Amino acid sequence: MSGVDPNGGGPLLVPGGATGSIAASSLSPGTAGQGIRTNAGATAGEWADPDLVCTFAELSTTYAPSAVLRGVIAYASDKLATYVCRRTAASTYAWRVIAYERALPGGATAQAWWKLEEAAGSTTFANSGAGGTATLTATTSGSGAEVNAGTGSGPWGQPCVLLVQSSTPGAAYLESLSGVIEPAQPVTFALWVKLAPTFFNSDTFARFGKKWNSGFTAPTNAIAMNVGAIFNASTVSVGGVATAGTSARGVTQGEWTHVAVTYNGTSQIAYLNGRARAATAQSGAIDYGTGSGRTWYFGSSPASSADRLNGQLSEIRVDGTAWYAATVLEAYQRGVGTWDGGL
């Protein structure tokens, strides 16, 4: 069941609906900071003044049934979610989430947030984050290679990008201009990917990341991830030396998978579907080099078309913070619709 974000932020997931309070489908749009009051057992409600609204910190509190919070639904803007105060025992009430934004909050303040929701026929993809223009451009080479916007269905049904690779030498991928979005540390790099059931030739995994090119040296990954059915790995370069963290666990073809790598200046951690799969000690600022080849790329490396993604991409983020493990897990759980509201 879908609900409405009272703050106008887009569709919310409503798991199941409310029991013993108001049905989630009966919510009407309101204003951030408002609450909704109903009588016990009611099936509809009206938006009320903010005197019934709690802060997110209060949502973890259990209240006595005589409290004014009985039957109240509150919107917590810091979590982009709607919560209901429900009876949990004969004499207690507690908050539970009934609706939430599927994308992890904070995209607009990340350095890069490529939603990849552009309409069919688009060949450029905007950065909705705070790090500047940083537009991605569709790039293809070889017979049959395609970058298709507005196709498929993303992790929560939104438009996404489909990459179709060439059966001959060549590739289809997205690439930025050189020198954009280069957080030294800390940093988080995350995205959703859905691998097609088959790969071309030796394409057993796909590449995503930022390369650097210093003078005439060969392009090297500044921060990157390799994702495939066989294994998942992350790479961070410090001082021109690339250190990899490798997981023996791969992704499931034909299913949406959330992958992320975090680097806090002392260690990098590779995550798969919200769980840490590899951790590697490392220290120092990420080396982006000084050459002209410092581009972000998604689906294949511009330096080599050996590792190419046949599949779909959605919700790419580059954040100037190292997400905590709980944040990575929340990003995954929101996407697949299993988040508990942070309670």
CA distances (Å), origin 131, targets 109, 114, 183, 231, 286: 8, 11, 10, 31, 17
Q: Write the pLDDT tens digit of every residue in 200-241.
A: 544 556 778 888 766 545 567 788 887 877 667 788 888 767
Taking the domains of the chain in order of start, what are their residue ranges? 2-101, 107-336
CA-CA distance, 129 to 112, in Å (whole number)?
Answer: 5
Distances (CA, A) of 7 to 30, 115, 183, 215: 7, 20, 31, 49
Q: Is the peptide bond before 186 cis (omega within 30 degrees of 0)?
A: yes
For 98-142, how does the pLDDT look when each residue is reduced to its tens digit (9 = 90+)?
788 999 999 999 999 999 999 999 999 999 999 988 999 999 988
Residue among 94, 91, 34, 21 at smallest CA distance from 59: 94
Contact predicate 269/278, CB 8 Å: yes
pLDDT tens-place string over residues 261-297: 999 999 999 999 999 988 888 888 988 888 788 889 9
Nearest by Cα to 161 from 172, 176, 177: 172
Which tokens sit at 101?
């934004």
Residue 309 in tokens = 């993604």
Please check the confidence at residue 173 and state whether its pLDDT lies above 60: yes
| Spacing of C-alpha 273 from chain mean position | 11
Rounded distance, CA 45 to CA 20, Å? 13
- Sequence-ordered alpha helix ranges (H) in the chain: 325-336
277, burial (CB in 10 Å: exposed 0-12, middle 13-18, buried 19+)? buried
Note if the pTM is more than 0.85: no
Instruction: Give yes or no for residue 168 having a pLDDT over 70.
Output: yes
Tell whether the model's pLDDT for residue 19 goes beyond 60.
no
Token pair recorded at residue 275: 């769980």
Instruction: Give the CATH number of domain 107-336; options: 2.60.120.200, 2.60.40.10, 3.90.850.10, 2.50.20.20.
Output: 2.60.120.200
pLDDT of residue 131: 93
What's the pLDDT at 111? 96
Average pLDDT over residues 162-171: 82
Hey, which bits of 14-114 come out as E strands? Answer: 35-37, 46-48, 62-63, 72-76, 81-89, 92-101, 112-114
